[in-house]
Amino acid sequence: MTTAPVVLLTVPEVMTRLKYGRSKVYDLIRSKRLASIKEGGCRRIPESALQEYVRASLEEPA
């Protein structure tokens, strides 16, 4: 049985997918609304965390 590999996205990739600016993405990370990891100087966002953020945003009242 194999598990799917974890896909890690860069901040610019998340910016492109969400059509958000750099500051907005870092605000989401800082506020813990978007999970990320940092190794050295590299910040990465798991694709699953991005999907969870979008799902949670859709469930929020407008």
Total number of domains constituting the chain: 1
Write out pLDDT tens, residues 18-47: 999 999 999 999 999 999 999 999 999 999
- Split at pLDDT 50, 70, 90, the class of 3 is confident
Is 35 part of a structural domain of the chain?
Answer: yes
Q: In what order do the strands lie in the sheet with 8-9?
A: 8-9, 42-46, 37-39
Tell me whether residue 20 is in a domain.
yes
Alpha carbons 2 and 11: distance in angstroms, whole number: 28
Domain membership of residue 1 (yes or no) is no
> Looking at residue 9, what is its pLDDT?
98
In a domain, 2, yes or no: no
Question: How confident is the model at residue 1, as a pLDDT?
Answer: 66
Q: Is residue 3 in a domain? A: no
Cα 5 from Cα 18, distance rounded (Å): 22
Residue-range definition of the domain harbouring residue 35: 8-59
